[in-house]
């Protein structure tokens, strides 16, 4: 599933070095396909990829850049793809999902042995 992560960067506007660091950190994470910085009131790093761990990415950016805020994580909205999949899925009968909530471990089986004393008349204390 392709997802989009948006992270707010609190860096100086004239600091090209911090922007380069942010790009290098973002692209080095596994699953990242693209990264872009949007300029506005503050810089927002937009990262797109498959199975991106946003928490690890944010923590790596905090270690190198300082103050960073995770804004949103979510799937990419493809309007054309979603319309086609919704129309094909609505006609098909959905399969019921059957889940077992309780694991089937069973009770452990122990073998029981009876040990008898060969001399029942003797006292074991003396």
Q: pLDDT tens, 67-92?
A: 899 999 999 876 555 444 444 454 45
Element (H, E) at 115: none
Q: Which residues pair with 6 in a beta bridge?
A: 46, 72
User: Hey, CA dihedral for 103, 107, 108, 109, is it positive or negative?
Assistant: negative
Point out the least confidently predicted range of 9-18, 40-49, 76-85, 114-123. 76-85
Q: CA nearest 28: which of 7, 6, 56?
A: 56
Is residue 16 scored above 80 in pLDDT? Answer: yes
pTM of the model: 0.59
């Amino acid at each position: 599933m392709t997802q989009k992560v948006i992270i707010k960067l609190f860096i100086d506007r004239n600091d090209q070095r911090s922007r380069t660091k942010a790009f290098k950190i973002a692209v080095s994470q596994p699953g990242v396909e693209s990264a872009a910085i949007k300029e506005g009131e503050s810089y927002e790093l937009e990262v797109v990829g498959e199975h991106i761990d946003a928490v690890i990415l944010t923590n790596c950016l905090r270690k190198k850049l300082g103050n960073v805020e995770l804004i949103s994580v979510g799937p990419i909205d493809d309007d054309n793809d979603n319309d086609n999949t919704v129309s094909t899925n609505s006609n098909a009968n959905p399969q019921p999902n059957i889940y077992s909530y309780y694991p089937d471990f069973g009770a452990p089986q122990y073998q029981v042995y009876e040990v008898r004393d060969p001399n029942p008349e003797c006292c074991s204390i003396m």
